[in-house]
Amino acid sequence: MNKHTVLVTGGAGFIGSHACVELLQAGYGVVVVDNLVNSKAEALSRVERITGKTLPFYQADIRDKPALTEIFAKESIATVMHFAGLKAVGESCEQPLNYYHNNVYGTLVLLEAMRDANVKQMVFSSSATVYQPSATGEYSEDFPLGAINPYGRSKVIIEDILRDVSAVDKIKQNGAPWKIALLRYFNPIGAHECGMIGEDPNGIPNNLMPYVLQVAIGKLRQLSVFGNDYPTPDGTGIRDYIHVVDLVKGHIKAIEAIESDKFKAGGCHAYNLGTGKGYSVLDIVNTFEKVTGRKVNYQFAPRRTGDLAESFANPERAARELDWVAEKNLDDMITDAWNWQVKNPQGYVD
Ligand SMILES: NC(=O)c1ccc[n+]([C@@H]2O[C@H](COP(=O)([O-])OP(=O)(O)OC[C@H]3O[C@@H](n4cnc5c(N)ncnc54)[C@H](O)[C@@H]3O)[C@@H](O)[C@H]2O)c1
């Protein structure tokens, strides 16, 4: 017997495909909408092979209101997990209009289609980039917001919209209130342990782990470590890496919370999803070499503008209110990421 059905926007992407596996295995029905701007349909075939279940896939843009209206009319959706979005910080500085149009306008259209279909439960992919830079590197959910690039600002604007949307219904009490979980991810890496799904970036990767993988497998020559003069123990930047499977388990916990008394009054609640532990770039390189036995060729390069010395979550609220903690360690993250890379050296081939 299926639990209710979840519409997963961006379900063919890195995190979305892992969420589909976790949802299907937990007994939810899953419907995917994705325009494949940064993913391949093959990821969804793999999800079906891993789970032995089928999932309807609509290749559509979330800015296409008639397409969304049709999906809500055809499928009996109770909750939306909203991953669809563009996510490269550097690219967002080059193409701010594209980022705001895709991420902010796309979310507005999705919310209108949800309102029209009377679907009012959402789990939203937010990001640690919504926070103002903190002097200590640690972020709790009540730390002031103030993103420093267009990508991060698109997430802050969406969070503001979601807070406003959920506030209106609470006041008017006309029908069921909106129930929204804002999940602020730190640095998701790793892959499903079977090695059939993982992160498949287009072109040169923007993030550290896919870059390290491609250097180790010989696709890229050398890793540039941006900055070795930060005020951190080894001088390189520190981030809170989290296994993607732990991350998506946090989404299942968020749906369970939304459907429990905790969200009875509705509203919009933010949760950090991170481990609470930071690792430096050199920690990643050294652990990678230890776990895989492969050498990672690297050189130091100047700091990149906008990069912070240190960023890690205070994950206590998610532990307390969602009953969720990350369970996998850095060795697990690297083992699983490497397994995916070795089994799929060219990523997904359609
Ligand atoms: N990966 C990270 O480090 C990270 C960190 C914090 C937050 N996030 C957020 O999590 C979400 C998922 O990230 P990911 O790493 O899986 O990225 P991804 O690019 O692998 O997945 C995003 C998916 O959304 C789809 N998409 C984009 N715009 C769309 C549109 N207009 N209509 C329909 N589909 C669209 C893409 O084709 C892709 O399949 C994003 O919203 C991202 O901003 C990611």
Averaged pLDDT, 193-219: 94
In a shared domain, residues 263 and 303: no
Question: Are 38 and 210 in contact, with CB atoms under 8 Å apart?
Answer: no
Residue having the nearest C-alpha atom to atom 30 of ligand 1: 61
**131 labelled catalytic:** no
Ligand 1 nearest-atom number relative to CA 37: 37
161 and 40 in a common domain: yes
- Nearest-atom number in ligand 1 for the CA of 62 is 32
**Whether residues 288 and 158 fall in one domain:** no
Answer whether residue 113 is part of any domain: yes
134 and 149: one domain? yes
- Do 265 and 287 sit in the same domain of this protein? no
Domain residue limits at 317: 208-239+277-323+326-343
- Looking at the DSSP bridge assignments, the partners of residue 182 are 124, 270
Cα–Cα dist 125/186, whole Å: 11
Closest CA to 152 of 261, 278, 327, 307: 307
**Per-residue confidence band for 1, with pLDDT thresholds at 50, 70 and 90:** very low
Judged against a pLDDT cut of 60, whether residue 339 lies above it is answered with yes
Q: Are residues 76 and 181 in the same domain?
A: yes
Give the C-alpha separation, 89 to 287, whole Å.
26
CB 247 within 8 A of CB 325: no
Q: Which residues line ligand 1 (CB under 6 A)?
A: 10, 12-16, 34-39, 61-63, 83-87, 102, 106, 125, 127, 185, 187-188
Question: Does 256 share its domain with 218?
Answer: no
- Same domain? For 53 and 166 the reply is yes
Measured in Å, residue 19 CA sits from the centre of ligand 1 at: 12
Residue 248 carries which side chain, given as an amino acid letter? Answer: V
Q: At what angle do helices 42-51 and 14-25 cross, to 10 degrees?
A: 20
The model's pLDDT over 11-45, given as tens digits with 9 standing for 90+, comes to 999 999 999 999 999 999 999 999 999 999 999 99
What pLDDT score does 156 carry? 98
- Taking the C-alpha atoms of residue 33 and residue 6, their distance in angstroms, rounded to an integer, is 11
The pLDDT tens digits of the residues spanning 263-300 come to 998 999 999 999 999 999 999 999 999 999 999 999 99
The amino acid that residue 210 corresponds to is P
Residue 172 Cα to ligand 1 middle (Å): 33
Helix (H) or strand (E) segment spanning residue 192: none
Q: What is the pLDDT of residue 218?
A: 93
Average pLDDT over residues 96-119: 97
Return mean pLDDT, the chain.
95
Nearest to 312 by CA among 143, 186, 182: 186
**Distance (Å) from CA 26 to ligand 1 centroid:** 22
Q: Does residue 173 register a pLDDT over 60?
A: no
* Phi, psi values for residue 18, rounded to 5°: -65, -35
Among the atoms of ligand 1, which is closest to the Cα of residue 151? 43
| CB of 151 closer than 8 Å to CB of 142 | no
- Strand order from edge to edge, sheet including 238-239: 138-139, 310-313, 238-239, 279-280
Task: Find out whether 325 and 319 touch, Cβ atoms under 8 Å.
Answer: yes
Based on the domain organization, do 108 and 76 belong to the same domain? Answer: yes
Percent of the chain with pLDDT over 90: 93
Q: What pLDDT, on the 0 to 100 scale, is given for residue 168?
A: 86
Q: In the predicted model, what is the mean pLDDT of residues 66-80?
A: 98
Span from the CA of 70 to the centroid of ligand 1 (angstroms):
22
CATH number at residue 250: 3.40.50.720
Give per-residue pLDDT as tens, 125-172: 999 999 999 999 999 999 999 999 999 999 999 999 999 999 986 656
**Which is the catalytic residue, given 58, 151, 185, 271?**
151
Same domain flag for 175 and 69: yes
Query: How many structural domains comprise the chain?
Result: 2
Mean pLDDT of 303-332: 96
Q: From 181, 162, 198, select the one nearest 81 (Cα to Cα).
A: 181
pLDDT at 172 (0 to 100):
62
pLDDT cut 70: percent of the chain above it? 97
Domain co-membership, 222 together with 164: no
How far apart are the C-alpha atoms of 242 and 150, rounded to whole Å?
24
Do strands 57-59 and 29-34 pair parallel, antiparallel, or not at all (unpaired)? parallel
